[in-house]
Chain A
């Protein structure tokens, strides 16, 4: 590895970590799309700042762009308050307009600006090591490293200082307000951090991929844990891992680094989406199927309990009577006898003592409207689940 390769990976990791932290709160507060809106609409701010300073990384530029981001949030909220359009339409109207202004400004001044429209979309991570921070002739490393490094440090500091406030206001806004934390200040504080981070990351990864860096790690970890601290640490880990492996993927394919990082993030998310232990799609679908079968089992037991006469309790009769297909009826029967809830002799089904108690108890819970208790009963009595 050359030193510039190491530097790129370092910058990518820091950008990813700095984005992931505010991202966790955006995801939890249902404001993911605000990151999309901000990242698009800071473009005119960045372009105008660039005309003034001729430097993408100067502090003036970053402040100007961050201000544009906050203006966007305010504008969106203003349009929402007029009630002329729905909330999501307000977001959808503001940011494309701002982004268009930015793109047109770039196109009109294409000759003076070495700000490329492609770079706006995916950034120029590969070129970041060339822009050095030089103080009195001493090379201190890439400028982007310093900029994003300081943003990360500030974000972490703010996070530690206001952790309690953020946590409470995220999960229980009413309680937070009652305790005296101003929701407005926290809201705009978070918006400002998101805005500044987006601007800092913009240069490296571009307008659209910032969104992925912000919400994909948080969304991935959200499927795996319920603990806020774990979620923060996990998101950073996912982000940094994707940054580094994304770099190597891009290296192999000779393609955009930011695009590759997003692809890796997408892949990790897909894995979590499919295979996460309790919240992944597969386990959700499995659980749904299990529950469906167990509900059917319960219906079946109640039916048997209700009928004394033998013909109602005959196996063949069941298929037609509760309107189940044969296969389904068979599998329910199997589950019931595996759990020792029924006994079958000569095709006639009888409830065992256990089955009788179970269905009695279940019907009690249903009439008392305490259906959730049935779940606990299943845990207790079932040797085999559906």
Chain B
């Protein structure tokens, strides 16, 4: 099935509509909450939490014997939270550094999860198939009830974010100030972390434990490049996330045997790459262009100030000089001279040049500025 057929089917097929809606909502809520994770420098916490959810998924299945999404989500939520608090405990109470704590929880929980998962797979129980969709995600398994759950959780977290918007914003940018203003930083911290854990857990079915963290990070990192305003960033991240979800699901749906997770992550990564390169203010491309432009301008000014020094020695500033004389000092380029002439700062006449009034004035100003900044 190619993409066009897929889009056509999208308007007719109910299941497909459900799946698309589900991934869009998921992407949006991940982008929204991911913005906070990225700004709080908790990017990798998401990675640890999503891996830490695996044993919870497997245990919920072993204990309850059901693949009911809600039971499994609760299992994932509990083990994700245990992982999160263990990381905090390790950082606070031992000399292990945050990176080690994250890596430990991530790999150990995942290892336990895989042990349980392989144990389940060997059991003579027909019901066990399909648990491994939680590894790389399978959007096709989304049911309308899952979408309702996704939608309501997203709505709740959105409302809470709005309600605590001012406090959270303050917390992101100046934690100490928030504390001195008397806000309960610990409560806010636990609030935002819990919602991040919740978003991760909800995404597991679609994106999978292995790659879920990217779903949280990538839209937010992309959105960060386009704006310096928090609400714009959150909004953009939600939009990027939703599009990554929908496009990723469409691509993986049209190729057989492709899990949704990796495709969504790659689509989101494309958003990141484009943003890194093309964003007007922070992007690499425009930064480089600005750098080159600055360099050129600096060269121009250098030539101009050299001319100024020469012109200063004469009473008549528009007294013509040999071009060659510039060479004896620091050099010049033909291009720079032409550029200066175009800006009407100097006049060229064969092998002679002389400064215009404008040019002299500008150079004098330049000179003043330089001496001032040198002081």
B34-58 vs A, Cβ < 8 Å mask (1 yes, 0 no): 0000100101101100010000000
**What is the CA–CA distance of A217 and B43 in the complex, to the nearest angstrom?**
25
Type the 1/0 row for B88-128, where 1 means its CB is closer than 8 Å to any CB of A.
01100111110110111011111111111111001000000
List B residues 204-228 near A (Cβ within 8 Å). Answer: 210-211, 213-214, 217-218, 221, 224-225
Q: Mark A69-95, 1 if CB is under 8 A from B, else 0.
A: 000000000010010111011011100
The answer, among A30, A96, A117, A258, for a CB contact under 8 Å with B213, is: A96
Q: Are B111 and A97 in contact (CB under 8 A)?
A: no
Q: Are A215 and B104 in contact (CB under 8 A)?
A: yes
The reply to whether A216 and B107 contact each other, CB–CB distance below 8 Å, is yes
Whether A88 pairs with B100 at a CB distance below 8 angstroms is no
| Residue among B51, B94, B136, B213 making CB contact with A92, cutoff 8 Å | B213
- Contact call A88/B111, Cβ cutoff below 8 A: no
Asked if B341 is at the interface of the complex by the 8 Å CB criterion, the answer is: no
Cβ-defined contact, A256 with B103, below 8 A = no
Contact A89-B94, Cβ < 8 Å, known A122-B114, A219-B104 = no
Indicate which residue in A89, A208, A280 contacts B110 across the interface (CB closer than 8 Å). A208
State the majority secondary structure of interface residues on B: helix
Q: A100 near B265 (CB under 8 angstroms)?
A: yes
Residues from chain A with a CB closer than 8 A to the CB of B282 are 84
Q: Is the CB of B225 within 8 A of A259?
A: no
Query: A84-B225, A212-B107 are contacts. A92–B262 as well, Cβ < 8 Å?
Result: no
Tally chain B residues at the interface, Cβ within 8 Å: 60
| Chain B residues closer than 8 Å to A79, beta-carbon distance | 276
Flag if B111 contacts A215 (CB, 8 Å): no
Structural contact, B257 and A107, CB atoms closer than 8 A: yes
The answer to whether A92 touches B217, judged by C-beta atoms less than 8 angstroms apart, is yes
Contacting A101 at CB < 8 Å: which of B95, B103, B259, B266? B266
B263 close to A208 (CB less than 8 A): no
CA distance A101 to B270 in the complex (A): 12
- Given the known interface contacts A32-B102, A104-B266, A107-B259, the answer about A211 and B107 at a Cβ–Cβ threshold of 8 Å is yes
Min CB gap B92→A, angstroms: 9
Tell me the complex Cα distance, A249–B119, Å.
11
Contact in complex: B122, A35 (CB < 8 Å): no
- 6 closest A-B pairs by CB: A262-B111, A259-B115, A96-B214, A212-B107, A100-B262, A266-B108
Residues of chain A with a CB closer than 8 A to B43's CB: 86, 88-89, 91-92
Nearest CB to that of B282 among chain A residues?
A84
**In the assembled complex, A196 has its CB within 8 A of some CB on chain B:** no
Interface string of A194-210 (1 = CB under 8 A from B): 00000000000000110
Knowing A88-B43, A104-B262, A266-B111, say if A82 contacts B122 (CB, 8 Å). no
Residues of A within 8 A of B95 (CB): 222-223, 279
Closest residue on chain A to residue B215 by CB atoms = A96
A93 touches B107 (CB 8 A): no
Q: Which residues of A contact B135 (CB under 8 A)?
A: 117-118, 121
Which A residues are in CB contact (< 8 Å) with B94? 223, 273, 279-281, 284
Contact A100 B111 (CB under 8 A): no
User: A100-B266, A104-B266, A253-B119 are known contacts. Are A91 and B97 too (CB-CB below 8 A)?
Assistant: no
The CB with the most chain A CB atoms within 10 A, among B46, B95, B96, B225, is that of B96
Which residues of the partner chain B approach A85 to less than 8 Å between Cβ atoms?
38, 221, 224
**Known interface pairs A117-B136, A122-B118, A258-B111; A93-B100 also in contact (CB < 8 Å):** no
Residue among B118, B213, B258 making CB contact with A108, cutoff 8 Å: B258
Q: Is A285 an interface residue (CB 8 A)?
A: yes
Q: How far is the CB of B221 from chain A (nearest CB, A)?
A: 5
Choice from B90, B214, B276 contacting A273 with Cβ under 8 Å? B90
